[in-house]
């Protein structure tokens, strides 16, 4: 009887081992190819954009309203604008002085290249000198009349007379 009981226990254990071995296991997911996935997403996106970009017929026109105009009053004093701007006529360059002419002890501001056009700001109170806007520093500077070509359409009487040191 003992051998029958042992035989039954052995068969039971064998059945348990076989039953445990036959149960389905959860499958391990395959490794993800990140680079391949990103490449496919990019290719899919590009193809979608290319297909979406093509249209055999143009889209219907959308009506647009004309822009509104806002009128702003200009409170600034209008400046005289000549057709031609004064031009440097000294080749290769003309000296421009800060504050006034060098004969009164003022220092050199810059040299302006020939044939650059400049903005005239005023007529100097010192004869033979003009005040222009330095094209390099956007500040007033004094230039000799010999270095500046003033065109005939420029009315010098419309410009202020400027004194050295008071720009």
| Digit-coded pLDDT (tens) for 65-75 | 666 666 665 55
In the chain, where the domains are located: 87-157
pTM (two decimals): 0.51
Q: How many CB atoms lie within 10 A of CB 115?
A: 11
13-17, 36-40, 64-68, 155-159, range with the lowest pLDDT: 64-68
The alpha-carbon radius of gyration of the chain (Å, integer) is 45
Spatial separation of the C-alpha atoms in residues 102 and 114, rounded to whole Å: 20
| Digit-coded pLDDT (tens) for 110-146 | 999 999 999 999 999 999 999 999 999 999 999 999 9
User: Out of 3.40.50.300, 3.40.50.620, 3.30.310.50, 2.30.30.40, which CATH number does the structure's domain 87-157 have?
Assistant: 2.30.30.40
What is the mean pLDDT of the segment spanning 49-68?
A: 65
């Amino acid at each position: 009887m003992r051998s029958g009981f042992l035989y039954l226990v052995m068969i039971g254990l064998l059945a348990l081992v076989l039953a445990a071995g036959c149960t389905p296991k959860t499958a391990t997911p395959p490794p993800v190819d990140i680079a391949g996935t990103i490449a496919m997403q990019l290719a899919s996106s590009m193809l979608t954009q290319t297909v979406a970009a093509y249209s055999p017929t143009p889209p219907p026109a959308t009506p647009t309203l004309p822009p509104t105009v806002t009128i702003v009053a200009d409170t600034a004093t209008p400046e005289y604008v000549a057709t031609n701007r004064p031009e440097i006529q000294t080749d290769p360059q003309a000296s421009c002085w800060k504050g006034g002419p060098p004969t009164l002890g003022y220092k050199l501001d810059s040299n302006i290249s020939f044939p650059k056009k400049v903005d005239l700001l005023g007529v100097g109170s010192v004869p033979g000198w003009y005040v222009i806007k330095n094209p390099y520093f956007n500040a007033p500077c004094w230039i000799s009349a010999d270095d500046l070509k003033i065109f005939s359409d420029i009315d010098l009487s419309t410009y202020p007379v400027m004194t050295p040191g008071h720009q």
